[in-house]
Structure 1
Amino acid sequence: MILVTGGTGLIGSHLLFHLINSGKTVRSNYRSKASIEKVRKVFGYYTDDPSSLVEKIDWVQADITELGNLDNLFIDVDYVYHCVALISFDPKDYKILERTNVEGTANVVNLSLKYGIKKLCYVSSIAAIGSNPKQTEVTEENEWNEAKATVYGITKYEAELEVWRGSQEGLDIVVVNPGVVIGPGFWKSGSGSFFTYASKGKKYYIPGGTGFVTVSDVVKAMTMLMESNIRTEGFILVNQNMTYKEFFDKIAPKLEVSPPTKKVSKFMIECFWRWDWARSNLFGKRRKLSKAVAKGLFHKEDYSSEKIKSELDFEFEDLDKAIEFCCDRFIEK
């Protein structure tokens, strides 16, 4: 039995589809029936009969932050893919980020140890990788610098520490650190928001850039690592490093709109995050742009995936074809 936590998210739903299609016996947690419908929608992008596959999953209603109701998730499980994560860059969300990303991961690690899980794969993020002051490609060896990190990045890094702690207590683990994950089905969050923004023919793009990877490549790397003899290692998963302008230039034509042509200036960003801070503190509104995120928009961080390529002879898929697939699915919706 394979357990996938967070199976109703972008990576988790695609992982479930791959595992079920491979004939694996799979269990996943969920929080509401509506979240399972999202999985059914994702499956529908790849098959004409998504319901039959969804019904093959052993669904257990459970919240990983509530330790008391998690034992049923782990009974008879051999392998765990831990995909659950809360994404927010609002400093006011630090406590809930810590509860979900750090305490939730600690619960998964502790129960994996308790039930003798053979191997655990944790989905982290490049946000938990240290930046490179020398302007060369970031690798898994970069030193962590909390002072430059977002609240999301801090909690993902702290969650990684829980996973490494589990390895010291005898749990076989692997960690993946994907870049911005490109995949269909979640158009209001993560990379999906880029497609939504571009589809409106917006004129402005943010400066800087980062690493991008397809959800299919993330799933492929995770399953290959779990089936290998590799353990106690972390791997950056980035297919291509791009500026945000380059990314919008790829997706806009496929959405039949013009790409944004005006770069948001440093002055505009500096003004906006200060206004956003005042708005949040005076009126209790959610932050749209924190200081840490604003600072990160001024440069392009490049990431190296040489380790995964070397260790697994891993080949990334054609990113342009994956982007075109996402655009087609977005138009269909």
Structure 2
Amino acid sequence: MKVLITGANGLLATNTIKLFLEKGHTVTGLIRSKEKFLLPSQPGLELFEADILDYPRVQEAVKSCDAVIHIAALTSQDIPDYEAYKDINVHGAENIIKAAIARQVKKFIYVSSANSMGYGSLENPGTENSPAKAPFTKAFYARSKMEAEEKLLSFSEEIEVIRVNPTFMLGPYDGKPSSGQIILMGFNKKMIFYPPGGKNFVDVRDVAGGILKALKNGKNREAYLMANENMSYEKFFELLQLKSQRKSFLMLKVPKIALLAAGYLGDLLRFFRIKTDLSSVNMKILCVSNYYSNQKSKRELGMKYHPVETAVDDAVAWFKNNGILE
């Protein structure tokens, strides 16, 4: 099978490209700059430079592909304008699927976010049927993913649209780094300040495997949560300290009221068009137990998940090997 994978320099796309090549597929990686690609040149891989908003170039990249895996997205948390997210994450996705339809591609895998669905508790985690809820309904990134899903599903009579919704991914080849920042924040630190909430963590290579399984066995219009371990931030940072083998360290929970105060300060900065990760929405997100279930992916796709501890080990090793972490 020949597949187009967008966002080829990102954490998930890099691991997905690596897996697809290992399985004997031919891959065209859509990327804005070949210099940012993390894998070596190899048979079966073509890198195609293009912006996802450049329709003629995207259509050329899709040519002769059997399937499209759309991963590219604007994920930064510091942009104060929703239109920036909508432009890339909604209009860009629409560009990709229209090009795929024009080239008579059969399947379109859209990598969305778990937060387009409602989170739950440890006892009752969120599922694919859980409606999205605050604070994610007001978070620009999550909102754009929800809007993109709705837009893409409107094309499902012309092309199979299958959604993959990962939780928080960790693992190797995180070159920015992106989600791996949480490891850099806590690994081998003498003092760690952690928020009161929690989230679901998953090995990025499991998500790549889930994409492959969804391509083979996923159903049109269906969504599949790629989720694994629900952990409080306290538990996660304790795991990091265990891995770093630091014997003496101090962990302090940041009170919710302090996070919200910082968030409202961020809202003021954003009002003056200043880029910042701080916002009341982002701080509220850190205070919720953002937990999900993986039962549908196990049941319908045959997913098996590796311990998050393994993802942490391999992410740390990759960061060290690439001079990102000492």
Q: Which has the higher contact order (CA 8 A, sep 6+)?
A: 2
Residue deviations 1:25-54 (CA, integer Å, cap 9, x gap): 111111113212xx22xxxxxxxxxx342x
Aligned partner of 1:221 in structure 2 is 210
The AA in structure 2 aligned to 1:109 is I
Q: Which residue of 1 aligns with 2:312?
A: 323
* Residues 69, 187 of structure 1: alpha-carbon distance in 2 compared, 3 angstrom cutoff: closer
1:154 counterpart = 2:143: yes
Structure 2 residue runs of 5 or longer lacking an equivalent are: none
Q: Deviations over 1:111-162 (max 9, x none)?
A: 1211111111111011211345998211111123477521110001111112
- The counterpart of 1:274, out of the listed 259, 264, 280, is 264
RMSD over aligned Cα, in angstroms?
2.2
What's the CA shift for 1:309? 0.9
Change (3 A) 1:314 1:133: closer
Measure, in 1, the Cα distance between the counterparts of 2:201 and 2:153.
25
Q: Which has the higher helix share?
A: 1
Q: 1:286 & 1:229 partners in 2: Cα distance?
A: 39
- Shift in alpha-carbon separation, 1:253–1:155, aligned structure 2, 3 A: same
Counterpart contact for 1:251–1:324, Cα < 8 Å: no
User: Which amino acid letter does the alignment assign opposite residue 324 of structure 1?
Assistant: D
Residue ranges of structure 1 left out of the alignment (5+ in a row): 41-50
Q: How does 1:152-191 map to 2 (within 5 A)?
A: 152-167=141-156, 169-186=157-174, 188-191=176-179
Moved more, 320-329 or 250-259: 250-259
TM-score by length of 1: 0.89
Would the aligned equivalents of 2:262 and 2:280 in 1 still touch at CA under 8 Å?
no
Shift in Å at residue 273 of structure 1?
A: 1.1
Distance 1:278 1:255, change over 3 A: same
Report 1:66-81 matches (<5 A): 66-81=54-69
1:211 to 200, 206, 220: 200
Q: In the TM superposition, what is the alpha-carbon distance from 1:88 to its structure 2 partner?
A: 2.6
Q: How many residues are treated as equivalent by the alignment?
A: 318
Is the 8 Å Cα contact of residues 146 and 154 (structure 1) preserved in structure 2?
no
Change (3 A) 1:156 1:260: farther
The alignment status of 1:113 with 2:101, answered yes or no, reads: yes
Residue of structure 2 equivalent to 1:63: 51
* Aligned residues of 2:121 and 2:290 also touching (Cα < 8 A): no
The change in CA–CA distance for 1:219 and 1:311 in structure 2 (over 3 A counts) is same
Shift of residue 212, structure 1, vs aligned partner: 0.9
Q: Which amino acid aligns with 1:103?
A: H
Asked if the contact 2:165/2:223 (under 8 Å) is kept, the reply is yes
Cα deviation, 1:260-296, whole Å, max 9, x if unaligned, reads 51001112112211222233445x4312221112122
Q: How does 1:1-333 map to 2 (within 5 A)?
A: 1-36=2-37, 39-40=38-39, 51-53=40-42, 56-90=44-78, 92-132=80-120, 136-145=124-133, 148-149=136-137, 150-167=139-156, 169-186=157-174, 188-199=176-187, 201=189, 202-228=191-217, 230-257=219-246, 261-282=251-272, 284-332=273-321, 333=323
Task: Say whether the 8 Å CA contact 1:78–1:119 is kept in structure 2.
Answer: yes
Per the normalisation by structure 2, the TM-score is: 0.90
Indicate if the aligned counterparts of 2:136 and 2:142 stay in contact, CA closer than 8 A.
Answer: no
